[in-house]
Chains A and B, each alone.
Chain A
Amino acid sequence: EIVLTQSPATLSLSPGERATLSCRASQNLRNYLAWYQQKPGQAPRLLIYDASKRATGIPARFSGSGSGTDFTLTISSLESEDFAVYYCLHRYNWPLTFGPGTKVDIK
């Protein structure tokens, strides 16, 4: 089973600041990694798929990078609606696994 490790667990930032979230895999995923945003009481929302492709309707301030075992989600300038929990998910093989999440909260 592929283990995904996300860091930091919590990121405290102010609106307008840049957020850099990391997801590290226990083995090579090629580019088979997605990022999701989840707000309290809501279903997750797809942000990035295949490491760097923005999903439909996702603002350009969200970007993904990386391949292999190291991946990054960057939010260039935080908006108030971006404070949430972010999860990475791999689809390289079975079982699919999620990372434990990074909470981005308001400083």
Chain B
Amino acid sequence: EVQLLESGGTLVQPGGSLRLSCAASGFTFSTYGMSWVRQAPGKGLEWASTVSDSGGNTYYADSVKGRFTISRDNSKNTLYLQMNTLRAEDTAVYYCAKHMAGATTFDYWGQGTLVTVSS
């Protein structure tokens, strides 16, 4: 059974940093692309970032480019999102999502971790 478990969400001040983690199990982690998708309170879904299976290719939404860094450790079956220079508008539930084989379609999602940026 595929499981994705996010952690690291908390209250952080504007301008601060945070690292989110997503522990994966139930599939061969190193052979699938992974993404972070976020959802501000009461709002819709927003794709934030994607990393290829090897970690060699990364992609970012303009809203996070230059501030967020996606990475993965295939030896630990874990996905990361390093978030720097956080803003109030980054407040959201952050979901990690597994890709389907060979496609940027998210077939499994974690339950999410809440990041609140506020003073």
Which A residues form the contact surface with B (CB < 8 A)?
34, 36, 38, 42-46, 49-50, 55-56, 87, 89, 91, 94-101
- B110's nearest neighbour on chain A, judged by CB, is A43
Whether A91 and B95, one on each chain, are in contact in the complex, defined by CB atoms closer than 8 angstroms, is: no
**Dominant secondary structure of chain B at its interface with chain A:** strand
Q: Which of B47, B109, B110 contacts A98 (CB 8 A)?
A: B47
The stretch of B17-25, B67-75, B83-91, B98-106 in contact with A is: B98-106
Whether B112 and A43, one on each chain, are in contact in the complex, defined by CB atoms closer than 8 angstroms, is: yes
- Distance in Å: Cβ of A3 to nearest Cβ of chain B: 13
B77 within 8 A of A: no
**Using a Cβ–Cβ cut-off of 8 Å, how many residues does chain B contribute to the interface with A?**
23
Given known A-B contacts A43-B95, A94-B59, A55 and B44 have beta carbons under 8 A apart:
no
Whether B59 and A95, one on each chain, are in contact in the complex, defined by CB atoms closer than 8 angstroms, is: yes
Instruction: Collect the chain B residues with CB atoms within 8 Å of residue A42's CB.
Output: 111
B45 within 8 A of A: yes
Instruction: Collect the chain A residues with CB atoms within 8 Å of residue B109's CB.
Output: 43-45
B62 within 8 A of A: yes
Whether B50 and A100, one on each chain, are in contact in the complex, defined by CB atoms closer than 8 angstroms, is: no
- A91's nearest neighbour on chain B, judged by CB, is B104
